[in-house]
Amino acid sequence: MSLFKRHTNYTVLVGYMEHYGTLPEDAPQIKAALENTEQLVDYSLEKMDIAIDFDGAVAISKVGLQWLDYAKAHPDNPQGYAATAKDILENQ
């Protein structure tokens, strides 16, 4: 059993979103961060020690923006998209 957590595109997304706030309160700030794929690549490398390429950043951004749309439509359950986001990013 490894003592190190395995980072995936999904864990990068969750960490990145949490870095910029909470849903749904900070949705505009999170949205702006998700739209900045260069910043997302830098965050992934510097904060999570995982290198992602441009295509990975675009995929993470796209799923994150879909999550924000879900959170806006379901303010009572903004985390309800988590399983879908994980499935998309880890099984594509």
User: Which residue carries 């998700």 as its tokens?
Assistant: 34
> Which tens digit of pLDDT belongs to each residue from 7-50?
899 999 999 999 999 988 899 999 999 999 999 999 999 999 89
Cβ–Cβ under 8 Å, residues 78 and 14: no
- State which amino acid sits at residue 66: Q
CB neighbour class for 2 (10 Å; exposed up to 12, middle 13-18, buried from 19): exposed
**pLDDT category of residue 1 using cuts at 50, 70 and 90:** very low
